[in-house]
């Protein structure tokens, strides 16, 4: 099947794009469209042209995969120039997503019809790009230019209805009639001689002040994002320059941004997310089981957060506690969370009631009843968890999925407490569980394919990003994080201050550094865990022993005067850390920002390499997605394994060798996989 077909109906040329999966505007589609447009223009019996698509997407935009290779003609701007030069009217018949270059095609047409389920947007900004085929010029010439600027800077698609309100869509048409209506509509417009070429318009100059006001706000909020600055430049050019000159500027900026490392990393992240979402290796015919009722064991912060995620997805949820007081605390926590969402205008009072009507809080494990999925979010202790699972084994309905939300423990050992280990796996949510997107789905050795697929489907139902991982202490994310935490403590002892450590990571792009984050979460959490596992972190241990547990005690790594949430450097913390360093016999010195950064990140990458070697994660992209969605790794840096490839594995291996010698720690030496890839001059992704 050619990617573009031309059919003639009643004097109208109907061009249908059929390029699965999403009708991206790859070279073959561009060439096919150019050819069909030439044919339709030359055909004296054709009065107008309709552009439509097969499948459930109108056009997802340019083919992002082509961006890493030299462009092949016709380019998208050349194709759109051919539409603009054609004397016959064009109608876009949109059914499904019209995104990026897809919307730019539609904007070049004279008229736009869309089905109610369609979405329209210019999301290039999320890939570190700007619309590069006239979008920055045509949209402000069609709708309120300030609204056009916001739409491009945010990149979020609009529903057909919202797009119609803005003036992007002329009419909304039921999907079943779209092509017939489009053909009739095109005939009428041709008969009227109606054409509406946006390239011939100028934006409403009265709106210039509003555009400047919006631009000031956007530039302040999105400082440091070159693509946002470029969008603002292009919209300003729409007022100041001719269409031709302004589109030339747009194209120049687009091509520059395409080569920018930030855009490359953002494009990588887009594909990594899709790779991680692929179905894991399972037997042919394996399918997920339906999940209609859920029970959560434990209504603490984590259990309540998980319950909210299920309630938000419209799933009946029972939260089970050990006593009445615990059950009412859980109920209060959940309804309090919804009340604050109402107060902040995020949901209506009615939505709150709807969601709470799906919630039950109960006492006693026997209340799991007929739940299709049980998520255990009890205390992080193997004996506690084994006891819960052995009870669940007796009382949960046959073939219910039994998931543990453990962050570190051995899921095989938990599964062994039951006589149905095939139904057991880990679903590791991240706090706050109703907000964080990541779920590590932990496949234990006996987990069945159906159980695994059910957990994945459930996470997707919650609008979350599931990544399949294997059993191992801390799975993927926390295991790598532990290596960073070790270095934080070591750096403090060697003389780096909490603010220097935090600044190294915030300058790198994280929203928060590890010391500020530790203070926010409470330093006692990891202190307790270290004590339970016989590990030490001399600086953090000393702070905890001095009663400095973070924000909740008004002091931790930082001081929080007058219950403020913003910490300030505290000489007392410095003295405590210095004393700890003396006890450890560690000499203190000034440590450069670069050394701090490398020591925080390279050992994590090394652990990522071991995780790949051991098969705990299947692909480097899985590790990157875990860090993007569970640990707020800056998206424009792709993820730790992607970043490693950009730095060069040989550089990282050399630095790890040095660290391992300095710290007399064999575990810091380059992992086998990292060392061998470095020797071959390869990266994790090549």
Q: Which is nearer to ligand 3HC, 267 or 479 (CB)?
A: 267
In sequence order, which residues have a C-beta less than 8 Å from that of residue 205 and are 6 or more positions away? 239
CB distance 437 to 431 below 8 Å: no
Spatial CA neighbour of 467 closest among 602, 631, 328: 631
Contact pick of 97, 114, 168, 302 for ligand 3HC (by CB under 6 A): 97
Q: What is the DSSP letter of 397?
A: P
If DSSP codes are grouped into helix, strand and coil, which group holds residue 425? strand
Binding of residue 482 to ligand 3HC (CB under 6 A): no
Q: How far is the CB of 275 from ligand 3HC (least distance, A)?
A: 7
Binding of residue 618 to ligand 3HC (CB under 6 A): no
Spatial CA neighbour of 232 closest among 143, 148, 132: 148
Listed in sequence order, the DSSP H helices in 422-537 are 449-461, 477-494, 498-508, 514-521, 523-533
Q: Mask of contacts with ligand 3HC, 127-156, x by CB under 6 A?
A: x-x-xxx-x---------------------
**φ, ψ dihedrals at 453, nearest 5°:** -65, -30
Q: Which is nearer to ligand 3HC, 30 or 548 (CB)?
A: 30
Q: Mask of contacts with ligand 3HC, 263-292, x by CB under 6 A?
A: --------x--x------------------
Say how many residues touch ligand 3HC, by CB under 6 A: 26
Q: Which is nearer to ligand 3HC, 271 or 379 (CB)?
A: 271
Contact pick of 4, 22, 179, 374 for ligand 3HC (by CB under 6 A): 22
Contact pick of 14, 16, 24, 291 for ligand 3HC (by CB under 6 A): 24
**Residue showing tokens 């241990």:** 541
Binding of residue 100 to ligand 3HC (CB under 6 A): yes
Residue whose beta carbon is closest to ligand 3HC: 100
Q: How far is the CB of 318 from ligand 3HC (least distance, A)?
A: 31
Q: How far is the CB of 270 from ligand 3HC (least distance, A)?
A: 7
- Inter-axis angle of helices 324-343 and 349-356, to 10 degrees? 160
Q: Which stretch binds ligand 3HC (CB under 6 A): 55-63, 325-333, 417-425, 604-612?
A: 55-63
Contact pick of 64, 424, 462, 501 for ligand 3HC (by CB under 6 A): 64
Angle at 90 between CA 88 and CA 96, to 5 degrees: 165
Binding of residue 230 to ligand 3HC (CB under 6 A): no
Contact pick of 62, 308, 438, 659 for ligand 3HC (by CB under 6 A): 62
CB distance 250 to 238 below 8 Å: no
Catalytic residues, by residue number, are 104, 124
- In terms of residues, how long is the chain? 686
d(CA 334, CA 337): 5
Binding of residue 124 to ligand 3HC (CB under 6 A): yes
Binding of residue 534 to ligand 3HC (CB under 6 A): no
User: What is the Rg, in whole angstroms, of the alpha carbon atoms belonging to the chain?
Assistant: 29
Binding of residue 99 to ligand 3HC (CB under 6 A): yes
CB distance 25 to 62 below 8 Å: yes
Q: How far is the CB of 20 from ligand 3HC (least distance, A)?
A: 9
Binding of residue 60 to ligand 3HC (CB under 6 A): yes
Q: How far is the CB of 274 from ligand 3HC (least distance, A)?
A: 4
Listed in sequence order, the DSSP H helices in 144-242 are 145-154, 160-166, 178-192, 208-221, 226-240
Contact pick of 3, 32, 123, 474 for ligand 3HC (by CB under 6 A): 123
Q: What is the DSSP letter of 235?
A: H
CB distance 401 to 374 below 8 Å: yes
If DSSP codes are grouped into helix, strand and coil, which group holds residue 19? coil
**φ, ψ dihedrals at 665, nearest 5°:** -130, 105
Q: Which stretch binds ligand 3HC (CB under 6 A): 96-104, 330-338, 425-433, 484-492?
A: 96-104
Q: How far is the CB of 129 from ligand 3HC (least distance, A)?
A: 6
If DSSP codes are grouped into helix, strand and coil, which group holds residue 314? coil
Q: Summarize as ranges the residues that interact with ligand 3HC (CB under 6 A).
A: 21-22, 24, 57, 60-65, 76, 97, 99-101, 104, 123-124, 127, 129, 131-133, 135, 271, 274
């Amino acid at each position: 099947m050619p990617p573009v077909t031309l059919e003639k109906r009643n004097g109208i040329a109907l061009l249908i794009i059929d390029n699965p999966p999403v009708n991206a505007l790859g070279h073959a589609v561009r060439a096919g469209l150019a050819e069909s447009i030439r044919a339709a223009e030359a055909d004296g019996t054709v009065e107008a042209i309709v552009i439509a698509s097969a499948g459930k997407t109108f056009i997802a935009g340019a083919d992002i995969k082509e961006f890493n290779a030299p462009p092949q003609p016709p380019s998208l701007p050349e194709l759109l120039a051919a539409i603009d030069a054609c004397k016959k009217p064009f109608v876009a018949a949109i059914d499904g997503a019209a995104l990026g270059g897809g919307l730019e095609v539609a904007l070049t047409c004279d008229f736009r019809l869309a089905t109610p389920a369609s979405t329209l947007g210019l999301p290039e900004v999320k890939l570190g790009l700007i619309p590069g085929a006239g979008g920055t010029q045509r949209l402000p010439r069609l709708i309120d230019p300030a609204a056009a600027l916001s739409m491009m800077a945010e990149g979020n698609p609009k529903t057909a209805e919202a797009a119609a309100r803005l003036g992007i869509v002329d009419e909304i048409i039921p999907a079943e009639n779209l092509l017939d209506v489009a053909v009739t509509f095109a005939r009428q417009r041709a008969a009227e001689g109606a054409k509406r070429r946006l390239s011939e318009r100028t934006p409403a100059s009265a709106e210039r002040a509003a555009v400047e006001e919006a631009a000031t706000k956007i530039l302040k909020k999105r400082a440091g994002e070159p693509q946002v600055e470029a969008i603002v430049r292009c919209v300003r050019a729409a007022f100041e320059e001719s269409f031709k000159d302004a589109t030339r500027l747009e194209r120049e900026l687009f091509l520059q941004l395409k080569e920018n490392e930030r855009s490359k990393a953002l494009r990588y992240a887009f594909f990594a997310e899709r790779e991680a979402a692929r179905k894991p290796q399972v037997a042919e015919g394996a399918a997920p089981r339906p999940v209609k009722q859920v029970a959560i064991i434990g209504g603490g912060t984590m259990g309540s957060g998980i319950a909210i995620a299920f309630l938000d997805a419209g799933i009946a949820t029972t939260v089970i506690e050990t006593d009445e007081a615990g059950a009412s605390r859980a109920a209060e926590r959940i309804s309090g969370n919804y009340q604050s969402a109402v107060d902040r205008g995020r949901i209506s009072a009615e939505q709150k009631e709807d969601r709470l009507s799906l919630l039950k809080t109960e006492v006693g494990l026997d209340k799991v009843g007929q739940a299709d999925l049980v998520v255990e979010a009890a205390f992080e202790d193997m004996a506690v968890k084994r006891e819960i699972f052995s009870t669940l084994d007796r009382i949960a309905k046959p073939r219910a999925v039994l998931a543990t939300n453990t962050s570190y423990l051995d899921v095989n050992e938990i599964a062994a407490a039951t006589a149905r280990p095939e139904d057991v796996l880990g679903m590791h949510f991240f706090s706050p569980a109703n907000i964080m997107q990541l779920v590590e789905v932990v496949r234990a050795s006996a987990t069945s394919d159906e159980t695994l697929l059910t957990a994945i489907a459930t996470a997707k139902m919650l609008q979350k990003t599931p990544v399949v991982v294997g059993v191992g202490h801390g799975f993927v994310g926390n295991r790598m994080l532990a290596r960073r935490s070790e270095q934080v403590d070591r750096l403090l002892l060697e003389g780096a201050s909490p603010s220097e450590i935090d600044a190294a990571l915030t300058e790198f792009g994280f929203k928060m550094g590890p010391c500020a984050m530790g203070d926010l979460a409470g330093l006692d959490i990891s202190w307790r865990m270290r004590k339970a596992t016989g590990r030490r972190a001399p600086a953090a241990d000393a702070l905890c022993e001095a009663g400095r547990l973070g924000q909740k005690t008004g002091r931790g790594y930082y001081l929080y005067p007058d219950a403020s949430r913003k910490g300030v450097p505290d000489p007392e913390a410095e003295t405590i850390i210095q004393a700890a360093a003396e006890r450890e016999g560690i000499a203190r010195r000034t440590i450069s920002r670069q050394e701090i950064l490398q020591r925080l990140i390279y050992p994590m990458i090394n652990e990522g390499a071991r995780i790949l070697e051991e098969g705990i994660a299947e692909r480097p992209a899985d590790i990157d997605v875990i860090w993007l969605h569970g640990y707020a790794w800056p998206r424009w840096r792709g993820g730790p394994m992607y970043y490693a490839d950009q730095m060069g594995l040989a550089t990282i291996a050399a630095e790890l060798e040095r660290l391992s010698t300095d710290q007399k720690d064999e575990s810091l030496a380059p992992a086998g996989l990292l060392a061998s890839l470095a020797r071959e001059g390869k990266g994790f992704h090549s």
